């Protein structure tokens, strides 16, 4: 721990109820969310993809950029962006969701970025697979972790650190991890991790380290703040907790009709309406089923084939809307039989809330 003005002084309760504080609104102003109406699109436009940045966006010079492989490698090396671009090029549609998505819907809620539903998006990420570069650096026998460090440094709970995460050799072998330099066919924007970021398909977003500048092979488990202190399912602050990893099955709907500016409640005319949205799960597990609740009844929606193994699937349902006041909801089930719970299990940091999306609508002439 470094000596700093934030030591031992978080300046807020761990959880809170009721109105949002100035600090929470400040976080929300920096970290924009998806437009739910754009769930009509397979691929989220770059400018409409959600953002989550803990510290400041580092402005890195792509020409001077080097990714460093160090630590317990037999053949450590540095590689420039040009050289990475000369490696085999792959493009993969990947749905990324912030582990904190839905936090504002938990009671009491963690004092942090107050996401409701909108911290999710699907982009076509272009880069090169990480595994062959790790092989090139030749991990020594006894390596148990690879640490991924970003260029952004800041403080959380009094602890100064560069944002960093780790994956074990077994996790790396399982996951199709990419080093990415393009998003939807254009160079990464600064706020999305330029010039190079990690993409860990099927895991919550925290694993996909932006502004990646160092990969360290470790013969002991990595103890970085973002690995061991945060991103844990805990009931009490004292517990070690279980790590947050794969994305849980979830779905969202395009809010039908037209909104009220402030409340986002909807109005639509009686008659036929197509309800539609997106559904996804983690770790490459496909979505098998989406149900939509209208009034008290659940209806089976039609689920499309996903764009790719790690991308969401579209769903739709034709509804003959009769006059009335409804709270619509959608819930998905994946191929492993995981189904969205009506109420997500509470945890101290408000992670992985995959309770159904609800939309209030008035149908009237
Ligand atoms: N270096 C760094 N990487 C990071 C973060 C960060 O703050 N710093 N935030 C993480 C979190 S919590 C998420 S959800 C995703 C968000 O990626 P995006 O902003 O491109 O949508 O980046 C992850 N990678
Ligand atoms: Mo996140």
Three-state SS string across 126-168, please? EEEECHHHHHHHCECCCCCEEEEEEEEEEEECCEEEEEEEEEC
Q: Which residues contact 97 (CB under 8 A, 6 or more apart)?
A: 119, 120, 204, 205, 247, 250, 280
Q: What is the pLDDT of residue 15?
A: 86
Is the separation of the CB atoms in 351 and 234 below 8 Å?
Answer: no
Torsion sign over Cα 261, 317, 205, 239: positive
Atom of ligand 1 nearest to the CA of 51: 19
- Euclidean distance between CA atoms 216 and 68, whole angstroms: 8
Assess whether the C-beta atom of 161 lies below 6 angstroms from ligand 1: no
Distance 55 CA to ligand 1 centre (A): 10
Gap from CA of 46 to ligand 2 centroid (Å): 17
pLDDT digits (tens, 9 = 90+) for 181-220: 999 999 999 999 999 999 999 999 999 999 999 999 999 9
**pLDDT, tens digit, 9 for 90 and up, residues 22-80:** 999 999 999 999 999 999 999 999 999 999 999 999 999 999 999 999 999 999 999 99
**Can you tell me which atom of ligand 1 is nearest the CA of 121?**
21
| Secondary element (H or E) of residue 68 | strand 66-71
Query: In b/e form, how buried is each residue of 27-46, taking b as 16+ CB within 10 angstroms?
Result: bbeebbbbbbebbeebbbeb
3-state secondary structure of 191: helix
Q: Compute the distance from residue 84 Cα to the ligand 2 centre, in Å.
A: 26
**Candidates 57, 102, 193: which one to mutate for ligand 1, based on the most atoms within 8 Å of Cβ?**
193
Nearest atom in ligand 1 to the alpha carbon of residue 204 is: 14
Cα-to-centroid distance, 191 and ligand 2 (Å)? 13
Give me the pLDDT at residue 14, please: 83
Q: Taking CA 181 as the corner, what is the angle to CA 177 and CA 186, rounded to the nearest 5 degrees?
A: 130
Determine the pLDDT at residue 9. 55
211 Cβ contact list (under 8 Å, min separation 6): 58, 60, 150, 151, 152, 163, 193, 194, 196, 197
What pLDDT sits at residue 62? 97
pLDDT band at 6, cuts 50/70/90? confident
Cα(286) to centroid(ligand 1), Å: 24
Q: Are 214 and 68 in contact (CB under 8 A)?
A: yes
Per-residue DSSP letter, 204: -
Atom of ligand 1 nearest to the CA of 198: 24
CA of residue 178 to ligand 1 center, whole Å:
15
Q: 94 in helix, strand or coil?
A: strand
Task: List the domain boundaries for the chain.
Answer: 22-243, 250-363
Q: Ligand 1 mean position to 210 CA, how many Å?
A: 6
Res 18: pLDDT? 86
Q: Which atom number of ligand 1 is nearest to the Cα of residue 162?
A: 1
Q: Which tokens in the block code for residue 221?
A: 């488990």
Q: What is the pLDDT of residue 219?
A: 98
Mean pLDDT confidence for 247-274: 98
Q: Is the pLDDT confidence value at 258 over 90?
A: yes
Same fold, 22-243 and 250-363: no
Contact assessment for residue 145 and residue 167, using Cβ atoms and an 8 Å cutoff: yes
Which ligand 1 atom is the nearest neighbour of the CA of 152? 1
Residues 101-125 have a mean pLDDT of: 96
Q: What is the pLDDT of residue 107?
A: 94
Residue 8 scores a pLDDT above 70: no
What is 22-243's CATH superfamily? Oxidoreductase, molybdopterin-binding domain (3.90.420.10)
Q: Are strands 15-16 and 266-268 parallel, antiparallel or unpaired?
A: unpaired
The per-residue pLDDT for 160 is: 94
Decide if 75 contacts 136 (C-beta within 8 A).
yes
Closest listed ligand to the CA of 103: 2
Q: Which helix (H) or strand (E) holds 170?
A: helix 169-174
Write out pLDDT tens, residues 294-334. 999 999 999 999 999 999 999 999 999 999 999 999 999 99
pLDDT of amino acid 322: 97
214 lines ligand 1 (CB under 6 A): no
Ligand 1 mutation target, pool 52, 121, 152, 192, most atoms within 8 A of CB: 52
d(CA 279, CA 48): 18
Look at residues 190, 206, 291, 202 and name the one whose alpha carbon lies nearest to residue 247.
202
Top CATH class of 250-363 equals mainly beta
Identify which has the larger pLDDT, 2 or 257: 257
Ligand 1 pocket, residue 211 CB under 6 Å: yes
What is the C-alpha R_g of the chain?
21
What's the confidence (pLDDT) of residue 13?
A: 77
Res 5 pLDDT > 60: yes
- The pLDDT tens digits for 115-167 are 999 999 999 999 999 999 999 999 999 999 999 999 999 999 889 999 999 99
| Band of pLDDT at residue 282, cut at 50, 70 and 90 | very high
């Amino acid at each position: 721990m470094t000596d700093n003005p934030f030591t031992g002084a978080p300046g807020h309760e761990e959880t809170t109820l009721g109105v949002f504080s100035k600090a929470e609104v400040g976080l929300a102003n920096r970290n924009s969310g998806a437009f739910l109406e754009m769930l009509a699109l397979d691929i989220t436009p770059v400018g409409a993809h959600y953002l989550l940045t803990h510290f400041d966006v580092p402005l890195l010079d792509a020409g001077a950029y080097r990714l460093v492989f160090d630590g317990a490698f037999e053949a450590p090396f540095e590689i420039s962006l040009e050289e990475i671009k000369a490696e085999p090029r792959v493009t993969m549609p990947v749905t990324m969701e912030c582990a904190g998505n839905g936090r504002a819907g938990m009671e009491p809620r963690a004092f942090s970025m107050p996401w409701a539903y909108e911290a999710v998006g699907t982009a076509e990420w272009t880069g090169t697979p990480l595994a062959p570069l790790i092989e090139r650096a030749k991990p020594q026998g006894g390596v148990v972790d690879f640490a991924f460090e970003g260029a952004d440094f800041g403080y959380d709970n009094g602890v100064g650190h560069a944002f960093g995460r780790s994956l074990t050799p077994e996790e790396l072998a399982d996951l199709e991890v990419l080093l990415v330099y393009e998003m939807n066919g254009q160079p990464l924007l600064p706020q999305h991790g330029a010039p190079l970021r990690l993409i860990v398909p099927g895991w919550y977003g925290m694993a996909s380290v932006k502004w990646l500048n160092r990969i360290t092979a470790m013969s002991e488990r990595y103890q970085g703040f973002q690995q061991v202190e945060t991103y844990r399912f805990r009931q009490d602050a004292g517990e070690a907790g279980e790590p947050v990893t794969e994305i849980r099955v979830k779905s969202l709907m395009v809010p039908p009709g037209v909104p009220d500016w402030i409340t986002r409640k909807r109005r639509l005319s009686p008659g036929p309406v197509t309800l539609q949205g997106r559904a996804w799960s983690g770790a490459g597990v496909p979505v098998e089923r989406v149900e939509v609740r209208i009034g008290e009844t659940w209806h089976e929606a039609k689920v499309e084939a996903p764009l790719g193994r790690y991308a969401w699937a579209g769903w739709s349902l034709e509804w003959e809307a009769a006059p009335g006041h409804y709270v619509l909801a959608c819930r998905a089930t994946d191929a492993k039989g995981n189904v969205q719970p009506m109420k997500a299990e509470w945890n101290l940091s408000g992670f992985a809330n995959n309770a159904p999306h609800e939309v209030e609508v008035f149908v009237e002439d």
